[in-house]
Structure 1
């Protein structure tokens, strides 16, 4: 358990250091196109990883339940440029419908 708290503390300190570095670095370094592109891609990658973990895992194991098809429906709705509220409603309705039919 203490190893877990050590990792949390270390990650927190790393986040703080990165935030402070953003304030200390000269602004022209951060304005370069490569830095802006990498920052945008890192954001997308982290959000995608969070969605994948929350969709396909339960505890420490992989699961396929109603969340996975709901994510697929949301992806299709986004690809068709549906409004975000509609995307959320479609995904929720898909998960609810599948759970009503007995899918875990």
Structure 2
């Protein structure tokens, strides 16, 4: 892809994001007060974050990989389920990945 195409795609994506943000501010407030809309917004946020975590933990480029990130993610999930503070969750996951990589796991 050429540089010009990349920049045009980037500018179009920026314009679309700005338009969506503006549309969100223009939506009447009473529409957002409905319980169904609030539930849907909360679920969309969780789904997007989950997808991001899954892609970052299980892929490298376009390939699926099973390396030290997956057990670290599992440790983080258990720590979250046990209601550990966020800093503890991050440290446990980092230590898990570091130990596994020191033991030779890619």
TM (norm. structure 1) is: 0.90
Structure 1, unaligned runs of 5 or more: none
- Name the residue aligned to 2:26: 24
Give 1:85 deviation, angstroms.
Answer: 1.1
**Partners of 1:17 and 1:99 in 2: CA distance:** 44
Aligned residues: 104
> Following TM superposition, where does structure 1 have runs of at least 4 consecutive aligned residues deviating by more than 2 angstroms?
2-14
Structural RMSD (CA): 1.5
Structure 2, unaligned runs of 5 or more: none
- Name the residue aligned to 2:57: 55
- Name the residue aligned to 2:82: 80
TM (norm. structure 2) is: 0.88
- Name the residue aligned to 1:71: 73
Deviations 1:11-48 (A, max 9, x none): 33322221111111111111111111111111101100
**Partners of 2:33 and 2:17 in 1: CA distance:** 21
